[in-house]
Amino acid sequence: MTATPNNTVFLTCCDYPNPEEVSKTLRLTANRFGINVAFTTCKKPFRFWYDKFPKVLDYLYQLNSSIQYVFFMDCRDSVIADTPENILTAFNEIYAGGVLYQCGDCGLAYNHLSSEMLDNVIRHYTWRGFIVGGMFGGLVSQVIKLLERAVRLHAALCEYDDSDPLVRMYWNDPFTRQEHPGRHMLVQDDPLIHIIQAGFEIDPEYADMIQVDLDKQVTALFGNSEHGQGHIPLAERRALEPCDIRSVGTAGLLHSPALANSPVHWLEWAYRLCSR
């Protein structure tokens, strides 16, 4: 079985105060390339970024059985740059099961993980394997399974439940106990997946579900980590634009947390992508 436009849903979650405006660039590029993006919402604003997982799960639980694949995209800082046929052809060529995530070339070494946990991720996924949760896709059953594990991990972290082996790994680490309280772990989405990555020897059934799109054939970070810059000022970004626009390669789904901080500029990027 392979992904096709008929058995795949492109999904986003938009519980912001002004959803039409926030999702404008995603909808613009989706219309340009003929992709119908589904919106999942619980009619409640985001409290924390972690809320994305339960909202996506609620939507996936109700999907028609004919939908076998899902691509999730953050609504405020994602754009579509190719047709669904081309996106899914590239995806089918590299998909080996599990959940495919985008990642930055520089590797996003988040400070919520100790050096030992970072070494685990590097050893298992390579340095370029640090995922970014703004875009992911795969078999619906696999996405559900991984997000359910993240939801259980979130609850166990909140309750300091050391019956969960990943909680023991995280809270028993001297770095976590002494240097970093790790409380933002309870409200973020990416760190939960990073802990699952770091625990590949402890909980391999779930860690091995995480695949990374190293060659940018489907997804790409864009205008962000290519230069190791993060959220750089608009004026400084302009000099990087030509390089960044080429760096996305053939990827048809693009995500840029940095450019989302400048909606007008991000919209300019979206129009440029639509015309290329």
Between 161 and 89, where is the model more confident?
89
Q: Would you say domain 8-275 falls under CATH 3.20.20.10?
A: no
Confidence tier at 233 by pLDDT (50, 70, 90): very low
pTM of the model: 0.86
The structural domains of the chain, with segments of one domain joined by +, span 8-275
What count of other Cβ atoms lies within 10 Å of the Cβ of residue 212?
A: 20
Residue 238 above 60 pLDDT? Answer: no
Residue 103 above 90 pLDDT? Answer: no
Please tell me the predicted confidence (pLDDT) of residue 260: 57
- Of 124, 127, 126, 72, nearest in space to 100 by CA: 72
**DSSP assignment, residue 177?**
I
Please tell me the predicted confidence (pLDDT) of residue 21: 77
Per-residue pLDDT reduced to its tens digit, 172-210: 777 776 655 555 555 577 888 888 998 999 999 999 999
CA–CA separation, 214 and 218 (whole Å): 10
Number of alpha helices (DSSP H) and beta strands (DSSP E) in the chain: 13, 9
Please tell me the predicted confidence (pLDDT) of residue 274: 65
Residue 72: phi, psi to the nearest 5? -100, 140
